[in-house]
Amino acid sequence: ITPGELWETHQSLKNRLIVYARTRLIEQARRREMPEEQIAALNNALDPEALLIGFARRFVEYKRADLILRDMEAFAEIVNNSDRPVQIIYAGKAHPADDVGKGILQRIYQVAQHPDFFGKVVFLEDYDINLARHLVQGVDVWLNNPRRPLEASGTSGQKVVLNGGLNCSILDGWWAEAFDGSNGFAIGNGLTHADQGVQDQRDAEALVRVLREEVIPLYYDRDADGLPQGWIKRMKRAVRTLGWRFNADRMVMDYVRYCYVPAAV
């Protein structure tokens, strides 16, 4: 497949996600009886040409959905950069008894409603399989920033790979063994600190740094045809190095080869 074909396919899926997200955002706004001018503005929420980050999973403390919000000044500079804008779609649920998780969700929702970020940072309610399908197929980057070493795996990022998306993740769970330096992006160097507060601060700084220095420049570096050749090269490498390793077919074959057949003879 040529770089142009791959990029065109990805952009088609991204456009489909954005149309779907706008529809859900408008439905949410009507349920909340928001002003009509705000509802109308949601018809233009999310720019198909801007870098789109997705974050969707359970809202629990260790997954740190609000890690990027620790430095709001840096966050605002990243999102509102007129030359190289960044957008984020959040989705997920918190357990009714998890007050910390609910607090994180509420903070993200409040940021999404702020005039500075309205239509650029969005929270999609009622997370379900259909929403998850659209997200993993359409985002440019899948963000995962758990507090190391508490992530068991992180299977959502594996689904993103098969759709041409790139992972930007803490080196924990599956990403600790999957990242090879050029098939996605790593947040930090995999080190932990005994003090959670120190670790969170260091990881937040590392996240901002990798976005500013690696993710955003690579996405917006275009050739004469408007193609981000470096980004597409990384997309291809992600599919080539990860698609066959992290899927159920390989898992079943390994069970057969190393467990079931030896046990049967």
Question: What's residue 225's pLDDT?
Answer: 96
Say how many domains are in the chain: 1
pLDDT at 72: 98
Q: Is 28 exposed, middle or buried (0-12, 13-18, 19+ CB in 10 A)?
A: middle
Lookup result for tokens 């359409």: 138
Provide the pLDDT for residue 247: 85
CB atoms closer than 10 angstroms to residue 248: 8
CATH number of residue 145's parent domain: 3.40.50.2000
pLDDT at 14: 98
Q: What does DSSP assign to residue 211?
A: I
Residue 153's pLDDT is 85
Residues of the chain with pLDDT under 70: none
pTM of the model: 0.94
pLDDT at 226: 96
Side-chain-facing half-sphere of 243: CA atoms under 13 Å: 12
Distance of CA 214 to the CA centre of its chain: 15
Mean pLDDT for the chain?
A: 96
Q: Which structural domain, as residue segments, surrounds residue 151?
A: 3-264
pLDDT of residue 248: 86
- Give, in order, the Cα–Cα distances in Å from 184 to each of 55, 79, 134, 159, 194: 15, 21, 20, 14, 27
- 97, HSE (Cβ side, Cα atoms, 13 Å): 0
Q: Is 33 left (phi over 0), alpha (psi -120 to 50) or beta?
A: left
